[in-house]
Amino acid sequence: MREITIAHSPDSDDAFMFYALVNNKINSGNLKFINILSDIETLNRKALDGVYDVTAISFHAYAYVFDRYVLMPCGASMGLGYGPIVVAKEEFDPADLKKFTVGVPGTLTSAFFILKIFEPEVKYKVIQFDKIIDAVLNGEVDAGLLIHEGQLTYSNSGLVKIIDFGEWWYKQTALPLPLGGNAIKRELGGQLIREISKYVYESIKYSIENRNEALKYALKFARGMDDNLADKFIGMYVNELTLDYGEEGRKAVQLFLDMGFEKGLIPKRVKVEFAEY
């Protein structure tokens, strides 16, 4: 048996995707997958050092590791007209964002990347993603950039939405907003990359086809969400583009990174590459 480390965030949508793989619901031949759970900013940092064979990664962070990792053709989280949002205690014009300090979940996240594309001069403070709502409420920051379940639960705390970047991006580009994908180490070689990618695809497909079973497992990772809300969240980020980026999804990732380069947010222009099955 060959062990393959596969790392993703402890979120209900990622748990849903990898359910079959980590619970032996599909036959993975002579490969044994070692599951590692960590928040996305930590995974982004680990990817810089090439720690894991397969890792969930923000597309922003991918710009720094594309020489070491290639994107899998499946496993993407894309916002179809929705995405990370900025919230505050009181409404203000998104055009005024640079006047405020925004709590952000990490500087390698795609959420931070799209915030900087929208307003390059924004002032920010890095705060753990699940502490951002509290930081806004207690006045530590003026506004918060929310990812994961916070996008659906912020109003429970009395906060208001300033801007939804998935909505804004769609108006600009008519494309889904690329948030995260799965990357696999190039050094594993073509045959193994194809084999692992196929198993990840089969895992996602299994969960989609056995939704109730996979959902039951994923609900263990649904922080602060009831079953209905968690079901909605998973449906938002495990969609038709998760099984396959398609032409539209691939175009969106390339445009996202091109736009970031043109704004001076990443040091090199990135030619996005995808593994094949």
- In angstroms, the CA 258 to CA 255 distance is 5
Q: What is the mean pLDDT of residues 18-33?
A: 94
Is 148 annotated as catalytic? yes
**pLDDT in the model for residue 199:** 97
**pLDDT in the model for residue 96:** 98
Asked whether residue 110 is marked as a ligand-binding residue, the answer is yes
pTM: 0.94
Asked whether residue 77 is marked as a ligand-binding residue, the answer is no
Tokens of 118: 């929208």
Q: What residue type is 152 in one-letter code?
A: L
| Active-site entry in 8, 46, 116, 148 | 148
Q: What is the mean pLDDT of residues 241-260?
A: 97
Q: What is the mean pLDDT of residues 241-254?
A: 97
**pLDDT in the model for residue 11:** 87
- In angstroms, the CA 163 to CA 166 distance is 9
**pLDDT in the model for residue 85:** 98
List pLDDT tens digits, range 87-137.
999 999 999 999 999 999 999 999 999 999 999 999 999 999 989 999 999
Q: What is the mean pLDDT of residues 260-267?
A: 96
Dihedral sign, CA of 107, 223, 225, 6? Answer: positive
Of 148-157, 175-184, 231-240, which one has max mean pLDDT? Answer: 175-184
pLDDT at residue 238 above 90?
Answer: yes
Strand partners, 182: 56
Q: Which domains does the chain have, with CATH numbers?
A: 2-78+178-262 (3.40.190.10), 85-173 (3.40.190.10)
